[in-house]
Structure 1
Amino acid sequence: MTASCGDKPSVGASLDDWLNYQLQLHTSEIDLGLERIGRVWKLLHPGAPDARIITVAGTNGKGSCVAFLEAILIAADFHVGAYTSPHLVRYNERIRIDGNEASDTDICSAFEQIENARGDTPLTYFEFGTLAAMLLFVQSGVDVIVLEVGLGGRLDAANLFDADGVIITSIGLDHTDWLGDDLEQIAVEKAGVMRAGRPAVIARPDMPASLHSVAGQVGAKALVRGHDYNLSVSGDEWHWQGNETAHHALPLPLLPGKHQLDNAAAVIALLDSMRESLPVNKAAIATGLKTVSLAGRFQQVGSNPLVFVDVAHNREAAAVLADAMRTHDEVKEWHAVASFYADKPIETIAEELRELISRWHIYVLKDARAASSEILQEKIRQGGVEGSIDAYGSFKQAVESARSAAGADGGLVIFGSFEVAGAALEYFSSKTL
């Protein structure tokens, strides 16, 4: 766990220069723990940030919950900083203030301050980003900071900062090399973001028992879906009901998929529990629901054939993707462009989608962690896929072949690791629907 001797970027260095430097600094891309980043943060900003902090942890749904929180709080006239990861196209997506991405100049300035403060303390790429986001939020004087946990919770860099409220979105099998393959233990890790006396929304009624146990041990104020709040749908409206308050006739969320109601309901539950310090009225909630945006969540980017982009890379997310695909009865035949890291549950992802996707178009990510073409094909077959699996040398070749094969009345879903979704968004950015 030592820093490399790579040359520090010079004054005026580009954002890419800084990011490449960070990738060389640490012997491991992931190094969970709070001691190193905590030491550097104290040098940058002694004391806690003067803002309310909301932390979002879980397997799936984190990005959506952050987007809902951001949209609703901005609509309520709060000054909001939001930190998410990974990014799809631009690193700047990770750090937003009032919905606007931080500039290259501001991020590089934050990186330089961190570099000057850290001395010989090694920091990972993610830790650099977390510190930069927090530094920019503090310097901008935001009222609320919304943090998305990168991996797990208990030892994640975001957990350096005590949350005034948290949301645990879901618990599933992902990052098993780091978190294990036992849902109860994974839940314990994610519950590590809870704090005594602070609200902790448990967004699904079927969470592992260990999550509830930790909440009790910590003394967090658990708010459980189905017990402390619930939702119902009536036509093109929905209703949120808590133990003491309610919001009726809300507009359906702009984000696609019925699962987004679960995420929106969890966000409202948390904001309701924090209403004394963060007063948010129904009008702000409605505005946030109608204006929220989040790239790469069954996002339509093309037509003739219909083309959708999604970041599904575990079984639970694949099941949600399958539900979204089933709403398009007009699609004659579905094709897929997909690729994954080797540690992802490719077999179970394929199992969730095998009845929908007629033909798979795969390629290998340009990353040391990528699953090879042989592994991709083997795991997809193990998921029960009997149709064609065609391998290509690049994303461009895969997507162009898939679009041609799908035809005007077909559908194409591009999904997998964030790099896949990012490549799709870049590819289709210059094309019209």
Structure 2
Amino acid sequence: MNSSSSTPVTSTAARPVNGASLDQWLVYLESIHAKSIDMGLERVQTVKDRLNIQLGGVVFTVAGTNGKGSTCAMLESITVQAGYQVGMYTSPHLLRFTERARINGQEVAEADLVRAFEVVEDARQGQGVGTVSLTYFEFSTLAIVWLFAKRQLDVVILEVGLGGRLDAVNVFDPDCAICTSVDLDHMAFLGPDRESIGREKAGIFRSGKPAIVSDPAPPQSVINHAAAIGADLWLFGRDFNYSGDKQQWAYGGRNIRRGALAYPALRGANQLLNASAALAALESVRDRLHVPAQSIRQGFLLVEWPGRFQVLPGQPTVVLDVGHNPHAAAHLRESLDNMGFFPYTHCIFGMLGDKDAESVVNALKDRIDHWHLVTLEGDRGRTAEELKVSLQNAGVDAVNFDWAANAEALGKGGIAKQAPDKTVQTYDSVAQAYTVLSKAVSANDRILVFGSFLTVAQALQAREQLRKRPA
């Protein structure tokens, strides 16, 4: 895909005043560029050069259709346990913008982010050399990495936002690049097939530097690009792999074997693939970053990453998953199967309009009994009625059933056996659906919340509101 050729725009919005809050700055960031996504590096590179950002520690850049956030979280957890000063930048966030910027496992303070925004805005305005227009993502990327540079961290972990080659993160040179998986998503920006998308993600590779690929069957474009630029390509199954049983697992790399490892605290069918990618990355930079075996064990035991097959405590069982493409749905299906038996599985399902809802439904339709379809607001949102059409196109044979009315009439858990085997209901919001299910679902059942970061975030907010209500 080609870099954007759009003309930069100068915002008419007023810069936040001194003492403005983080929320006020975020509103401003949304107003200073004509597009929310504008692929290309020239504008970001210009402001980066003005800021003179220099990262002195070991830099990991992580791209991939799925699994990149979990891989970042494992790298962070292990290196923090090893005693290093570690910064991690990820996106998007679930509940708070500060989730995007963490130092030593803790979210950066809002005041520190505001200061970073002020510095980037000064550089963006240019002091007489011309204002550069930046998207929300580009601006916040520069601010957070500037903050990391000022802290002189030992390790910096950067998660690519979209693609790789033209993503704002790619203005920073990694010491090790990781590509976790390549599948169909964001095709309007990255290309129509895995080969095109793979080439975009391989754009984070650097000549002479390790390039870790944990996709078991990577597109040839990934391999070809690594060869073309002389990257040190590490392929899963050739240069590193894993094995395991129900109690423990082992990693095998080019020169290092690690046995008797505890399973990562992150749940999900694909986490050993992500864990082995993290260990391969650490092996590839071991001359600069010594990581003891005990730090690896503790790192895997303590790692947390909300929204990625996250199982909440209590009953009924609630599973949160931000997966929003067919590849993620296939792994979600496998992870659900590994949970054991539940009499009924309900799902709160909301997706954005540019996602392949029908293929996602196809992957999960025989694992879900009751569909609770929600409308997501915003320009990219998809309505519950549109999702209902996707279910019909995928061959889901479900009957309309008013869970809200029945739940109020019969009480919590009272209607599970009286409802049809396969049902569908539409809701105006995630909060409405979550509130209904909190009354209607039996303690032995399972609720899956999935389809988008927005869906999971709004479910978490609804859950918190319900917990605050008086009994």
Q: TM class by shorter-chain length? A: over 0.9
Give the match for residue 358 of structure 2. Answer: 347
Deviation at 1:204, TM superposition (A): 2.1
1:12-52 C-alpha deviation (Å, 9 max, x unpaired): 11111101111111000011111111111111125x32122
Identify the range of structure 1 (391-400 vs 22-31) with the bigger mean alpha-carbon deviation. 391-400
Identify the range of structure 1 (242-251 vs 382-391) with the bigger mean alpha-carbon deviation. 382-391
Give the match for residue 441 of structure 2. Answer: 406
Q: Which amino acid aligns with 2:148?
A: F
Give the match for residue 389 of structure 1. Answer: 424
Give the counterpart of 1:43 among 50, 56, 59: 50
User: 1:273-352 residue pairs with structure 2 within 5 A?
Assistant: 273-352=284-363
Q: Distance in 2 between matches of 1:358 and 1:404?
A: 17
Give the match for residue 181 of structure 1. Answer: 192
Deviation at 1:327, TM superposition (A): 2.2
Give the counterpart of 2:116 among 110, 122, 129: 110
Identity of aligned residues (%): 40
Give the match for residue 8 of structure 1. Answer: 15
1:339-382 C-alpha deviation (Å, 9 max, x unpaired): 11111010010001100111111121121111123321111222
TM-score (norm 2): 0.89
**2:391 is aligned with 1:380:** yes
Deviation at 1:310, TM superposition (A): 0.8
Deviation at 1:86, TM superposition (A): 0.2
Give the counterpart of 1:250 among 261, 273, 289: 261
Give the counterpart of 2:79 among 70, 73, 80: 73
Q: Which amino acid aligns with 1:51?
A: G
Give the match for residue 233 of structure 2. Answer: 222
Give the match for residue 156 of structure 2. Answer: 145
Q: Is the 8 A contact 2:434 2:463 kept in 1?
A: no
Deviation at 1:430, TM superposition (A): 5.9
Deviation at 1:312, TM superposition (A): 1.1
**2:28 is aligned with 1:17:** no
Deviation at 1:115, TM superposition (A): 0.8
Give the match for residue 40 of structure 2. Answer: 33
Q: Distance in 2 between matches of 1:327 and 1:205?
A: 21
User: 1:59-208 residue pairs with structure 2 within 5 A?
Assistant: 59-119=65-125, 120-208=131-219
Q: Distance in 2 between matches of 1:302 and 1:238?
A: 26
Q: Distance in 1 between matches of 2:397 and 2:435?
A: 22
Deviation at 1:316, TM superposition (A): 1.1
Deviation at 1:329, TM superposition (A): 2.6
Deviation at 1:402, TM superposition (A): 2.9
- SS of the counterpart of 1:88? coil
Identify the range of structure 1 (200-209 vs 77-86) with the bigger mean alpha-carbon deviation. 200-209
Q: Distance in 1 between matches of 2:239 and 2:339?
A: 34
Q: Distance in 1 between matches of 2:272 and 2:439?
A: 35
Q: Distance in 1 between matches of 2:190 and 2:272?
A: 28
Q: Distance in 1 between matches of 2:86 and 2:161?
A: 19
Q: Distance in 1 between matches of 2:167 and 2:437?
A: 38
Q: Distance in 1 between matches of 2:309 and 2:437?
A: 17
Which of the pair has more CA radius of gyration?
2
1:258-312 C-alpha deviation (Å, 9 max, x unpaired): 3100000011011001100111121111110011000001212253321111101
Q: Distance in 1 between matches of 2:266 and 2:82?
A: 19
**2:282 is aligned with 1:271:** yes
TM-score (norm 1): 0.97
Deviation at 1:67, TM superposition (A): 0.1
Stretches of structure 2 that go unaligned for 5 or more consecutive residues are 1-7, 126-130, 399-422
- SS of the counterpart of 2:366? coil
Identify the range of structure 1 (376-385 vs 246-255) with the bigger mean alpha-carbon deviation. 376-385
Q: Which amino acid aligns with 1:121?
A: V
Identify the range of structure 1 (195-204 vs 295-304) with the bigger mean alpha-carbon deviation. 295-304
Identify the range of structure 1 (36-45 vs 219-228) with the bigger mean alpha-carbon deviation. 36-45
Identify the range of structure 1 (378-387 vs 286-295) with the bigger mean alpha-carbon deviation. 378-387
Q: Which amino acid aligns with 1:407?
A: S
Q: Distance in 1 between matches of 2:342 and 2:465?
A: 24
Give the counterpart of 1:209 among 184, 208, 220: 220
C-alpha RMSD of the superposition: 1.3
Q: Which amino acid aligns with 2:308?
A: R
Q: Which amino acid aligns with 2:449?
A: I
Q: Is the 8 A contact 1:298 1:309 kept in 2?
A: yes
Q: Which amino acid aligns with 1:115?
A: E
Q: Distance in 2 between matches of 1:176 and 1:407?
A: 40
Segments of 4+ moved more than 6 angstroms: none
Aligned residue pairs, count: 431
Change (3 A) 1:69 1:9: same
Stretches of structure 1 that go unaligned for 5 or more consecutive residues are none
Q: Is the 8 A contact 2:434 2:462 kept in 1?
A: no
- SS of the counterpart of 1:184? helix
- SS of the counterpart of 1:53? strand
- SS of the counterpart of 2:30? helix
Q: Distance in 2 between matches of 1:416 and 1:303?
A: 22
Q: Is the 8 A contact 1:301 1:425 kept in 2?
A: no
**2:458 is aligned with 1:423:** yes
